[in-house]
Structure 1
Amino acid sequence: MRSTGAHNFPAIDRVIYGRPAAEAINEEAERLKATRVFLIVSRTLNTKTDEIEKIRHMLGDKHAATFDGIAQHTTRKQAAEVALHAKEAHADLVVAVGGGSAVDLAKIVIMAMEHDIRDEAGFDPFPMGPGVSHSPFRAPAVRQIAVPSTLNGGEYNAAALVTDERNKLKQIFFHPHMMPVAVILDPALTLHTPSNLWMGSGTRSMDHGIEALCSPAGTPLADEVVLAGIRELREGMLRTLQQPDDFEARRLCQYGSWLASFGLQARVPMGASHGIGHVLGGTFGVPHYYCTPVIMPSLLRYNKPFTDDAQKRLAAALGAPGGDAADAFAEFVRQLGLPGRLAEVGIGEDKFGKISEIAINHRFVKANPRPFNDQAEIVDLLRMAA
């Protein structure tokens, strides 16, 4: 049982669920008195479905412009370019529709707009480093709404992950008002999401819950909520695997992602799965939705001496009461058909030295419940996951 601490509440007004996205976006724009809405959207949703056109039609004259060239990993360069487009469109509200990359891009775009950042170097004063609790941003005049089409859960986070392509480093930027002012959950929108992305992003959302549950800095409220989220994600994902058009299962997945992200919302520090995942994605190009499946089982085994009680509760939430949490998670990954080893995503032992060199200084690796005393211990973990 946790005995001392503090629970932080996020700067988000509301989560709207079960409503058509276009209708809810328009109502939120009116509530926020926005007249120039800039859309950052998935290219697939924009060009291969009518979902984005529905949004533009509903917004009418309030639609300012649409950007759909989102990179898989958000970069400083793209954030500066899109911010310039948004300013030229006189945007007073940004709406992200798509996966985690769309949401993260919108978060950093509103900060680039606020600080008139025009190139990669303009972000240099702002990344979070060890011991820094937030980026020295001003509160943005323009806020964002997030409409996720995946289960990533980053829409419940006031931080953005942004890659500095000059040195291939993924960095964290944070300000409380980078949190979306509203999140809109429309299960119909997710029907267009590829199965591997849907399932992989769901494990990423589970990761938020698992690392909050295992964190020494977690909170009693977050613990109970994330466990409920993990249970709902597991049930919903297995159901959508069998029946992809099951709306109720997709709704359950969205609720699970929301709940599993409760520790993230409360600024509970994440652990080494997130830290190493940032290196795998930012430096080595591994899709973010495959990072958790290949790292988490081995990390749970590494952390077990320090998180045994939490892992017992986790095993039950994963459908294995009395069992081993690492084995239960690995079996879940296998059922979903996702890669479960580093070798399956192109990461061999020749890359372990570079990964450990970068990861040892990552704030989330430093926050891991079981410390890593040196790079060699990270390499040992990577060998477990090989």
Structure 2
Amino acid sequence: MSAVSNLSGSYAYTDTLKGVYYGPGSVKTALPQLLDILGAKKALVVTGKSLFHKTDVVKTVETILRERNAYGATFYEIGEHAPVAGIKAGVQKFKDVDADVIVSVGGGSPVDASKAILYFVQQERGGRYLPQIAIPTTLSAAEYTIGAGYTNEEGHKVAVHAPELAPSGIILDAELTLSTPERLWLSTGIRALDHAVENLYRPLVPPPIKHLCYAALADLFKYLPASKANPQDIEARQKLQIASWMSLWPIKVSSHTALGLSHALGHKLGATYGIPHGITSCLTLAPVVALKAETASKEDKEWLAGALFYLRKPSTGSLEGDITQLSVEIQKLVDGLGLHSTLSQYKVPQEDVRTIAERAVGKEDPLLPKVVGLLQGIYV
């Protein structure tokens, strides 16, 4: 048995999370309930420019807060990958309105930016971390983690971690996702798939959570094409939000552990070259799974191979063959959703490929040549 085995460990829910509320239209009742549970008096709404200017989603949230006399202001100067300049401006806005809670609305960038804002506020003031209520409109699942990624002045992705940074409340209201652009909605669904797959070989993830990831895989494969075929299908969207939740189920662990190679590559590609995280998963997940057929431990191979059963695909007769087939199925899903991408399409210089690989796995990692080859394979 390997030193870190799925046959030993522990499980606890995050201490911070008070509730996940889900269902079409649920924001109207869930947001007031969460404000009461948290004893929150004044909210700063953190969102993105497009969501604020082009949809009524933020206005819906603002109206609910105003009805409770809990609205402070809305801050929407958060760019993709959460640049640190926006974080600093958000900290100032939070203090200016004397807020005691953030209500984040949108995708991973507002959620992560809110965590970072609350982190810097706590570092400045001391005492307890103030809470966040997350209302996601994509499937990126940032709301289930204790980490916040943002982009520093040099353009590199950096992160802060603390158990208290996990949102205190999450509202999954599928009606609020109807205005999410199709490419963003579907590509963040592949991001959720990336979470589910990489959790199958992530250290310290207990078996019950891995089986939730299997369920997430099955639903993402089923309902992403259904949502593309009928974007107004609220039921499919709600099931996708729940699948995203299952893909990155909140757990309490003794230390923060990274997901895996696909995420490591995505973080290096995203911030440096401006590639959305959903698209980085479209680029890297299938090739990484194919590489795992060669390099993973026997236990990790067994978990990956088991995914075929949940996708209702027959076994090839070997672990390696089943993992390779899983890679094929993932790529077929990406292509079928119209999300096929290349590094050259996003103007990543070909001479940067080795540097990206080195930053993702380290210069001394024995897998480095294979990772370089993986990136070269998705260049065009």
Q: 2:109 aligns with which of 80, 91, 101?
A: 101
Matched-pair contact (CA < 8 Å) for 1:315–1:328: no
Q: Which residue of 1 aligns with 2:59?
A: 53
Distance 1:59 1:253 in 2: 27
Q: Which residue of 2 aligns with 1:232?
A: 219
Matched, 1:311 2:319: no
Q: Which residue of 2 aligns with 1:163?
A: 151
Q: Which residue of 2 aligns with 1:383?
A: 376
Matched, 1:112 2:120: yes
Q: 1:251 aligns with which of 238, 244, 250?
A: 238
What are the Cα deviations for residues 86-105 of structure 1, in whole angstroms up to 9, with x where unaligned?
01110001010001101000
Task: Describe the shift of the 1:164–1:273 C-alpha distance in structure 2 as closer, same or farther (beyond 3 A).
Answer: same
Distance 2:178 2:120 in 1: 32
Residue correspondence of structure 1 range 123-272 to structure 2 within 5 A: 140-166=128-154, 168-262=155-249, 269-272=258-261
Distance 2:79 2:51 in 1: 15
Distance 1:374 1:311 in 2: 19
Distance 1:318 1:263 in 2: 24
CA apart distance, 1:360 = 2.6
What are the Cα deviations for residues 179-207 of structure 1, in whole angstroms up to 9, with x where unaligned?
00010000000000011000100111111
Distance 2:98 2:42 in 1: 6
> What amino acid is aligned across from residue 2 of structure 1 in structure 2?
N
Q: After superposing the two structures, state which structure 1 stretch, 218-227 or 19-28, moved more.
A: 19-28
| Structure 2: runs of 5 or more not aligned | 316-321
TM-score, normalization by structure 2? 0.88
Distance 1:348 1:311 in 2: 32
Distance 1:260 1:309 in 2: 18
Matched-pair contact (CA < 8 Å) for 1:279–1:359: yes
Matched-pair contact (CA < 8 Å) for 1:212–1:269: no
Q: After superposing the two structures, state which structure 1 stretch, 320-329 or 290-299, moved more.
A: 320-329
> What amino acid is aligned across from residue 333 of structure 1 in structure 2?
V
Matched-pair contact (CA < 8 Å) for 2:224–2:240: yes
Q: 1:7 aligns with which of 2, 11, 15?
A: 11
Distance 1:226 1:139 in 2: 36
Task: Describe the shift of the 1:162–1:264 C-alpha distance in structure 2 as closer, same or farther (beyond 3 A).
Answer: farther
Q: 1:65 aligns with which of 70, 73, 79?
A: 73
Three-state SS of the structure 2 residue aligned to 1:16 is strand
Distance 2:211 2:177 in 1: 27
CA apart distance, 1:57 = 2.0
Three-state SS of the structure 1 residue aligned to 2:111 is helix
CA apart distance, 1:31 = 2.3
What are the Cα deviations for residues 90-127 of structure 1, in whole angstroms up to 9, with x where unaligned?
0001010001101000010011111239xxxxxxxxxx
Percent identity at matched positions? 27
CA apart distance, 1:301 = 1.2
Q: Which residue of 2 aligns with 1:329?
A: 330
Distance 1:85 1:225 in 2: 39
Q: Which residue of 1 aligns with 2:318?
A: none
Distance 2:311 2:377 in 1: 21
Three-state SS of the structure 1 residue aligned to 2:178 is helix
What are the Cα deviations for residues 151-178 of structure 1, in whole angstroms up to 9, with x where unaligned?
0011001101111122x21112100011
Task: Describe the shift of the 1:23–1:81 C-alpha distance in structure 2 as closer, same or farther (beyond 3 A).
Answer: same
Distance 2:141 2:236 in 1: 17
Matched-pair contact (CA < 8 Å) for 2:47–2:76: yes
Three-state SS of the structure 1 residue aligned to 2:72 is strand
CA apart distance, 1:217 = 3.5
Q: Which residue of 1 aligns with 2:95?
A: 87
CA apart distance, 1:239 = 0.7
CA apart distance, 1:216 = 4.5
CA apart distance, 1:373 = 1.6
TM-score, normalization by structure 1? 0.87
Three-state SS of the structure 1 residue aligned to 2:242 is helix
Matched-pair contact (CA < 8 Å) for 1:295–1:341: no
The CA RMSD over aligned residues, in Å, is 2.2
Three-state SS of the structure 1 residue aligned to 2:273 is coil
| Structure 1: runs of 5 or more not aligned | 118-137, 363-370
Q: After superposing the two structures, state which structure 1 stretch, 201-210 or 339-348, moved more.
A: 339-348
Distance 1:353 1:246 in 2: 43
Matched-pair contact (CA < 8 Å) for 2:12–2:251: no
Distance 1:235 1:314 in 2: 14
Matched-pair contact (CA < 8 Å) for 1:139–1:175: no
CA apart distance, 1:8 = 4.3
Distance 1:382 1:318 in 2: 27
Q: After superposing the two structures, state which structure 1 stretch, 108-117 or 172-181, moved more.
A: 108-117
Distance 2:272 2:159 in 1: 14
Q: Which residue of 2 aligns with 1:27?
A: 33
Task: Describe the shift of the 1:219–1:350 C-alpha distance in structure 2 as closer, same or farther (beyond 3 A).
Answer: same
Q: After superposing the two structures, state which structure 1 stretch, 49-58 or 67-76, moved more.
A: 49-58
What are the Cα deviations for residues 23-46 of structure 1, in whole angstroms up to 9, with x where unaligned?
322221122121111100233332
